[in-house]
Structure 1
Amino acid sequence: MNTFFEITGLSQELIIYLAIDITIAILLLGAMKFISGLSAQVNATDELSSQDNFAFGISVAGSIAALGIVLTGAITGENAPSYQMEIIGMLSYGVLGLILIKIGRVIHDRLALNQIDKTEQIKARNITVGLVDAAGAIATAIIIRAVLLWVHGIDVSTFVAIIAGFVVSQAMLVLVTRIKERQYAKNNQNDSMQEAFANGQVALAIRYAGQVISTALAVTAASYFFEYNPETLVSTLTAWLIFSVVMTILVSLLTTLAKSIILWGINLVEEVDQQHNIGVASVEMAISISIALILTALMA
């Protein structure tokens, strides 16, 4: 055993921290599947296997991936003061992340996509709405993770900062959704983007997924400009929100430029909005996320 530790460079302490984190993560991810079924008032196992509801599966996958993203921000490993503190931290942040992801879904339903009933659409096997729901959960998780990495310790100020960061995430997602709705209406004779989701336009959902996830990454990039300080929490979070808008606009402008070059000669409105070209929409999503990732890496 000592030879193993010498060869790999691992320590017994690190193995114990790994076991703690993985065990808690698996339990929480399993809980997320159960809660997803509970919130939709269905048996998750039955809906996934017997009913073969692909839309529900995509929605659950998004929620599980979102929680996994949040948990990466909660792990401290050997930096934790003790095994007990690592357990408390993982459980506290993990449970809080799970709750915020589910609350974010409700807010997304009521404020961002208020013209459709996502739960009923997913139960009716609408894959488009399943994709939109998954994207919203992942975008929310990316910002929560950014806040978890931003704050220090476990106290009242920490949880206030996390909840405030969550509010910022929801405000940004609602703002981006409204902007994209207006753009869609302008390009499609005042048609409703939400109605298009309800009608099953998968290509539009894929593009939207790229837009909300890139927005979340832009908010993350904005976090690198501010230091966490419990005494100036309100002013710092306000500045973060303002700078998040600036970073979102910058990502949008750079993405538009990149699309015009990479997809030169392709009418995006015609291909995605009208012909429902999933291939072109997928490239759009990849460009949006790639530009946001690059900008985030530069800011870090």
Structure 2
Amino acid sequence: MNELMATLEQNGSLVIYLLIDMAVAILLLGGIRYTMGFIGNINTKNELAINDNFAYGISLAGSVAAMGIALSGAITGELAGSYSVELIGMLTYGLIGLLLIKAGRYIHDKFALPDFDKQEQILQRNIPVGLVDAASVIATAIVVRAALLWAEGLGIKTFVAIFCAWIISQIMLVMITRIFEWRFSQNNAISFQTTLEKGHMALAIRYSGYLISTAMSVTAASYFVVYDAQSVWAGITQWTIMSVILMLALTLLTTVAKFIVLWGINRREEVEDQDNIGIATVELTTSFAIALLLMALMA
């Protein structure tokens, strides 16, 4: 205890930076619920505590987690140089992260899953759709965090770099959705989105794994590119190319890993026909594990 107190006394400024960061983070995390309610014209208290809408709770939980992930990329601590710079940086990047996460949800609704009204399905207690919604915002936040860590400063070029990285992530998430849909349609007489709308939990879990692992591969791609404010477009181009390469590598590696981990099990039949949540969860964690290993290797 004495050693802890001595450390805090020697690093008093670090404690103040910590208080600033945590105050901003808690403020923004608390604002997520009310922002969702305001944008969707929803009484969040009714949905969460009176109607006991689990799907809405899962969707909100995803947004809270996403905000925390994005904010973790904005913290600089003593590197900021002053308390005011850290406060401005946290607020600015936090609000940017919030806007990009909300915009990412809109893109996912309109371009990745346009065949049904996701918010309406969530209000109708469709838990699989709520899970997919949570996964989509978490995936967006993972890339936003990577962009915040990659870019430096508070200039226009920094914001351009962050926005471009966000665009890359949205394109990749829509691409992986189209690939997922195509593969599903090869084996089934019903579309992926219709199946999801009908409340297919195992399929939602599998798809969520694809979304999050794809975002992690885009993050891994950022490790190859050194941020240079004088050549932002060159860096973004390199990031895009590496993202495609790593997404393909991720797809190949996860296919092999799932085949080995679930040897002797007909994954298509178990997940798509029997709604086997256990098998789908193993697939999700396998995708996550391979993506995590790719990130560690690239770093």
TM-score category, normalised to shorter length: over 0.9
* CA displacement, residues 2-40 of structure 1 (integer Å, 9 cap, x when unaligned): 864325686111111111111100000011111112222
Structure 1, unaligned runs of 5 or more: none
Paired with 2:272 and 2:156, the residues of 1 have a C-alpha distance of 46
The residue type paired with residue 282 of structure 2 is V
Q: Tell me the CA shift for residue 236 of structure 1.
A: 1.7
Paired with 2:137 and 2:226, the residues of 1 have a C-alpha distance of 26
**Equivalences for residues 280-291 of structure 1 within 5 A:** 280-291=279-290
TM-score, scaled to structure 2: 0.97
Q: Tell me the CA shift for residue 158 of structure 1.
A: 0.5
Residue of structure 1 in register with 2:133 after alignment: 133
On the 8 A contact 2:129/2:204 being kept in 1, the answer is yes
Paired with 1:117 and 1:28, the residues of 2 have a C-alpha distance of 27
Q: Tell me the CA shift for residue 243 of structure 1.
A: 1.3
Paired with 1:102 and 1:4, the residues of 2 have a C-alpha distance of 40
Paired with 1:99 and 1:295, the residues of 2 have a C-alpha distance of 28
Structure 2, unaligned runs of 5 or more: none
* CA displacement, residues 19-62 of structure 1 (integer Å, 9 cap, x when unaligned): 11111000000111111122222111221001101000000000
Residue of structure 2 in register with 1:238 after alignment: 237
The residue type paired with residue 125 of structure 1 is R
Paired with 1:149 and 1:4, the residues of 2 have a C-alpha distance of 29
Residue of structure 1 in register with 2:248 after alignment: 249
Secondary structure of the residue aligned to 2:133 is helix
Paired with 1:71 and 1:80, the residues of 2 have a C-alpha distance of 15
Residue of structure 2 in register with 1:186 after alignment: 186
Residue of structure 1 in register with 2:210 after alignment: 211
Secondary structure of the residue aligned to 1:92 is helix
The residue type paired with residue 280 of structure 1 is I
Residue of structure 2 in register with 1:45 after alignment: 45
On the 8 A contact 2:8/2:15 being kept in 1, the answer is no
Residue of structure 2 in register with 1:89 after alignment: 89
The residue type paired with residue 269 of structure 1 is R
The residue type paired with residue 168 of structure 2 is V
Paired with 1:276 and 1:9, the residues of 2 have a C-alpha distance of 56
TM-score, scaled to structure 1: 0.97
Residue of structure 1 in register with 2:296 after alignment: 297
Paired with 1:46 and 1:295, the residues of 2 have a C-alpha distance of 42
Equivalent pairs counted in the alignment come to: 299
Residue of structure 1 in register with 2:159 after alignment: 159
Q: Tell me the CA shift for residue 230 of structure 1.
A: 1.8
On the 8 A contact 1:5/1:11 being kept in 2, the answer is no
* CA displacement, residues 119-162 of structure 1 (integer Å, 9 cap, x when unaligned): 10011110011001000000000001001000111110111111
Please provide the CA RMSD for this pair. Answer: 1.4
The residue type paired with residue 153 of structure 1 is G
Residue of structure 2 in register with 1:268 after alignment: 267
Paired with 2:257 and 2:131, the residues of 1 have a C-alpha distance of 24
Paired with 1:18 and 1:274, the residues of 2 have a C-alpha distance of 50
Paired with 2:156 and 2:123, the residues of 1 have a C-alpha distance of 38
Q: Tell me the CA shift for residue 209 of structure 1.
A: 0.6
Q: Tell me the CA shift for residue 242 of structure 1.
A: 1.7
Paired with 1:182 and 1:109, the residues of 2 have a C-alpha distance of 18
Paired with 1:266 and 1:273, the residues of 2 have a C-alpha distance of 13
On the 8 A contact 1:226/1:236 being kept in 2, the answer is yes
* CA displacement, residues 199-237 of structure 1 (integer Å, 9 cap, x when unaligned): 000110000010010000000111111111122111221
